A = this chain, B = another copy of it.
């Protein structure tokens, strides 16, 4: 099933099959290189080559000095690929980055009803504290990526779909990494974003899905303006 381009695909597949046949799970130690050579009857260099491909897909994880383990199957390869795509077309109206942001909005909106069910009538001091931290930093004109990530991760942590949580996190990471990488100036109206985080939380606690949806759209407005301004600027100013 692996259609990864490059050499050694047959071996990549066979090692995947072996992981499944052995019933290994993420974090389990992989068989040694020698064992893989013997069992698959292939050369050490083929095994190494395949393991490198599997490592880049996070299907195996090399912990230097400790050995090789079944990987966490994270979305890190997606983040890497999309970040590179964002950098590649940075002269092209920041389209790749805009598309990532649109998908973040779509995901945030798609879980409105689920989040309302979860948060209605609750109090959430942890989420409040992340908003307070954002507000404090924004007041000093400091960026606040850690508090922002902490807010979104905590908000989504109670959703049952782990793929959705990881995808939301991957898109967050891409956009947050890409914005400074592309030398895009932070919006002046970043306090709007802070208020919108608060409004998202307040709406969910009040059980108001529509108000949550409005706050989500508001939350991304300063970023949209930032991207618009950067897209209009001369290429020289936007390029990393």
Contacts and interface: CB of A to CB of B under 8 A. Distances in A.
Contacts of A1: 80, 83-84, 177, 181
A206 interface: no
Contacts of A75: 78, 81
Copies of this chain, tallied across the complex? 2
A229 interface: no
What interface size band does chain A fall in? 35 or more
Contact of A80 (B19, B57, B163): B57
B6 A55 contact: yes
Contacts of A109: 110
Contacts of A240: 20
Contacts of A96: 163
Interface of A: 1-8, 16, 19-20, 25-26, 49, 51-53, 55-59, 61-62, 71, 73, 75-85, 87-88, 95-96, 99-100, 102-103, 106-107, 109-111, 161-164, 167, 177, 181, 240
